[in-house]
Amino acid sequence: MTSSICPFPRLAAFAAGAFLTTSALAAPQGTTGVQEFDPLAFPGQVVDDVVVPVPSEVFSVLDKLGEPNWKHEIRDLEVPNSSDRTKLALLFGYVVAEGFVAVQAEDKEAVKDAGRDVTTLATALGLTKAVRPHAQAILDAADKNDWRSIRKEFDQTQKTVKDTMEEMKDVDLSQCVSLGGWLRGTASVTSVVSKNFSADRAELLNQPMLVEHFVNAISKMPKSAQEHDLLKSIRKGLGSVLEKMEGAVDGFSKDSVIDISKTCETLLSGILSKK
């Protein structure tokens, strides 16, 4: 892996990984792996020239900037039954991201719900054997209120699924997992930021390189995948989000944060649709 200089000089966040990831200041050229960013020590790793921070660190930054009420960000999910693997992969990312929100809120029952949903979706994707140990570890750790271990297991669950998909030559599905998580993570961040707006908090949304990465990923998928209704909607929505990010040269306004939030929520509703 090699890094590139990020064209924007400010802190950004959220994207492809378990929250499934996030974007932040790129590491200096010639470096790889995790970097620490002052003043908030935001570690990240470079993937395809895009910096992907450790998912839980996004929450830590938000906590330092204002102590959000994470319990208000938890959602009661009704995961739809589906045989559509694209939809299932998007849902998987969504659910793992929801698990991170539940952990941040230290809500034991919500964590268990996410763990069970992870198992259900893994079964539908044919990944039960790979995911079952992580899911059980999440449930066991929840009984002990071991939040650190739960974060680790959600992160490992995401990695295991993505790695397994790539080994099975399902790289497009791996990207969908990241997309689902990014949308849920960004929706959570925009919700928190808009409720107590400040320029520093909004800066966590400054991630145009990451959004471009997702747009490009969809454009490189087979035509049949690009024509999938969900991916067509997501690609269009990402274009709108990217426009807002690129227009925030002097920082985000509260209205632009709310607009990004509405776009993400609309796309998430489509992923949860029973159609």
Is the C-alpha dihedral spanning 24, 28, 31, 35 positive or negative? negative
Q: Phi/psi at 119 (nearest 5 deg)?
A: -65, -45
- Residue at 211 is within a domain: no
The 8-class DSSP code of residue 81 comes to: P
Which of the residue ranges 141-155, 158-172, 235-249, 254-268 would you say has the lowest mean pLDDT? Answer: 158-172
Q: In the structure, what pLDDT confidence band is assigned to residue 15 with cuts at 50, 70 and 90?
A: very low
- Residue at 156 is within a domain: yes
By three-state DSSP, how is residue 45 classified? strand
Which of the residue ranges 17-31, 113-127, 179-193, 223-237 would you say has the lowest mean pLDDT? Answer: 17-31
Q: In the structure, what pLDDT confidence band is assigned to residue 222 with cuts at 50, 70 and 90?
A: very high
- Bridge partners of 46? 51
- Residue at 109 is within a domain: yes
| Other beta carbons less than 10 A from residue 98's beta carbon | 28
Domain span holding position 74: 70-171
For tokens 């395809």, name the residue: 48
The total number of structural domains that make up the chain: 1
- Residue at 154 is within a domain: yes
Chain segment 47-86, per-residue pLDDT in tens: 454 444 445 566 666 666 677 888 999 999 999 999 999 9
Distance in angstroms (rounded) separating the CA atoms of residues 127 and 274: 22
C-beta of residue 204 within 8 angstroms of C-beta of residue 58: yes
Task: Provide the CB-side half-sphere exposure for 80 (13 A, CA).
Answer: 17
Which of residues 268 and 21 earns the better pLDDT score?
268
Q: Count H helices, E strands: the chain?
A: 11, 2
- Residue at 116 is within a domain: yes
